[in-house]
């Protein structure tokens, strides 16, 4: 393109020589004046437009001079510092946590092993002693007096010491001897 | 080496980089303001040629510069700011035009006829000119999209065929061939209005 840097109009060789039918309408549109204050409105729109990545800004006197902390390098360093602090804190908490106390368990005695060679328990295992049962505070009454539920066979009507006549078994008398 | 001797150069480097970033940001802001001053009118015309509505065109210009604001760090990498900006606003207005198809075209034409210059014309001549412009624009709307875009951009005297090719991401020969076809189609449409679909 052989246009000068100050003038963007193309050369005659690049321009169409004549216009086609109806193109005068398009050319009228192409030379329409822009509305007044267009550039100012665009600029004001650009200043008020939110940027893609917003950064929290310091306000008023708190704003640091030069705004160095808004540079990408400073933001990266700050992000790395935050990561280090968070990771270090987590590691310190993890490393200082005490181990939980051991659980209270009943240690069973070791199984009876043959102390003397040649003998074996034959499958016997140690049985712990029976626990002592509850102790009654009051004396227990005799069973004959208290236990009324149990049926006791009634004593015979005969006087003690009397002999009981046994039924006489049928005799085999008068059996002829041959 | 003590800790202070280690930290002082570190913070000095941070401060230097911060100052450089701040200076670069100020430079980008100034460059952006200069772009607005220089090309806002051109972008408005390009937007208006497609949208045919002043407020919509101004919104498109605003949106284009907002996109530039988001990429202001890469302004130095742009070779031709004018073509780059026209390409941005061209894509914006085409997208808006596609989304706003529900609006009747007659509203756009009436708005356009109202803003077109008609100095020194009588009322009857002004009405006839408005009717002619509306007819021409209706014919332009009947063109295929590729030919229509080239024809509309070629109406801007600021744009060469090379720059039109850069805006549309096509070759210069394609621009010339499409412009040739567009003019032929326009001639047919204007001579035979009934052929309008």
Contact A46 B65 (CB under 8 A): yes
Dihedral of the alpha carbons of A112, A117, A121, A125, in degrees to the nearest 10: 0
pLDDT at B174: 93
Residue B30 lies in a domain: yes
* B146 in a structural domain: no
Contacts with B4 (C-beta within 8 Å, 6 or more apart), sequence order: none
Residue in B closest to A31 by C-alpha: B45
Count of H-run helices and E-run strands, chain A: 4, 0
Nearest to B37 among A3, A28, A39 (CB): A39
Give the gap in angstroms from C-alpha B99 to the nearest C-alpha of chain A.
Answer: 22
Q: How far is B186 from chain A (nearest CA, A)?
A: 7
pLDDT by residue for chain B (197 residues), tens digit each? 555 666 666 666 766 766 666 776 777 778 888 888 889 999 999 999 888 888 889 999 999 999 888 877 777 777 888 899 999 999 999 998 888 765 555 556 666 666 776 666 777 777 788 888 888 888 888 899 999 999 999 988 878 889 999 999 999 999 999 999 999 998 888 887 655 44
A11 pLDDT band, cuts 50/70/90, is: very low
Q: Is the complex ipTM more than 0.85?
A: no
Map tokens 């002619």 to a residue: B132
CA distance B102 to chain A (A): 23
Contact, A58 vs A64, CB < 8 A?
yes
Per residue in A144-159, pLDDT tens? 655 555 555 655 555 5
A65 in contact with B at a CB cutoff of 8 Å? no
| CATH code for the domain in which residue B54 is found | 1.10.1740.10
The answer to whether residue B91 sits within a structural domain is yes
Higher pLDDT, B14 or A167: B14
Tell whether A41 lies on the interface with B, counting CB pairs under 8 A.
yes
The number of distinct structural domains making up chain B is 1
pLDDT at residue B74 in the model: 74
pTM metric for this prediction: 0.55
For residue B37, being part of any structural domain is answered with: yes
Structural domain boundaries enclosing B86: 1-103
Question: Would you state the structure tokens that stand for residue A125, as one six-digit string?
Answer: 């295992």
Ramachandran bin of A17, using left for φ above 0, alpha for ψ from -120 to 50, beta for the remaining angles: alpha
> Is residue B176 situated within a structural domain?
no
Contacts of B117 in chain A (CB under 8 A): 28, 32
């Amino acid at each position: 393109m052989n246009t000068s840097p100050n003038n963007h109009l193309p050369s005659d060789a690049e321009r169409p020589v004549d216009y086609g039918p109806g193109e005068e309408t398009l050319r009228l549109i192409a030379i329409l004046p822009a509305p007044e204050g267009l550039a100012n409105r665009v600029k004001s729109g650009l200043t008020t437009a939110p940027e893609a990545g917003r950064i929290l800004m310091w306000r008023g006197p708190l704003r640091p001079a030069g705004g160095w902390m808004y540079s990408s390098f400073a933001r990266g360093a700050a992000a790395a510092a935050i990561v280090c602090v968070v990771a270090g804190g987590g590691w310190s908490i993890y490393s200082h946590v005490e181990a939980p106390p051991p659980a209270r368990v009943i240690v069973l005695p070791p199984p009876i092993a043959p102390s003397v060679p040649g003998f074996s328990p034959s499958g016997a295992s140690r049985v712990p002693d029976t626990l002592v049962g509850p102790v009654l505070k009051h004396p227990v009454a005799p069973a004959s007096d208290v236990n009324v539920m149990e049926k006791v066979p009634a004593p015979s009507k005969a006087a003690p010491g009397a002999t009981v006549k046994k039924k006489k078994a049928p005799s085999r008398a008068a059996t002829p001897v041959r | 080496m003590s800790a202070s001797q280690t930290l002082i150069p570190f913070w000095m480097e941070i401060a230097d980089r911060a100052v450089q970033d701040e200076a670069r940001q100020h430079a980008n802001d100034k460059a952006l303001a200069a772009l607005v001053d220089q090309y806002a009118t051109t972008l408005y015309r390009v937007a208006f040629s497609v949208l045919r509505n002043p407020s919509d065109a101004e919104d498109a210009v605003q949106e284009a510069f907002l996109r530039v604001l988001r990429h202001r760090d890469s302004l130095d990498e742009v070779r031709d700011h004018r073509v780059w900006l026209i390409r941005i606003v061209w894509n914006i207005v085409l997208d808006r035009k596609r989304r706003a198809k529900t609006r009747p075209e007659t509203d756009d034409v009436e708005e356009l006829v109202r803003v077109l210059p008609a100095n020194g014309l009588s009322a009857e001549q002004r009405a006839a000119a408005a009717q002619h412009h509306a007819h021409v624009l209706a014919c332009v709307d009947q063109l295929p999209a590729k030919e229509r875009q080239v024809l509309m951009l070629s109406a801007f005297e600021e744009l060469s065929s090379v720059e039109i090719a850069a805006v549309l991401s096509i070759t210069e020969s394609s621009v010339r061939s499409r412009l040739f076809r567009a003019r032929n189609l326009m001639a047919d449409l204007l001579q035979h209005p009934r052929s309008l679909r």
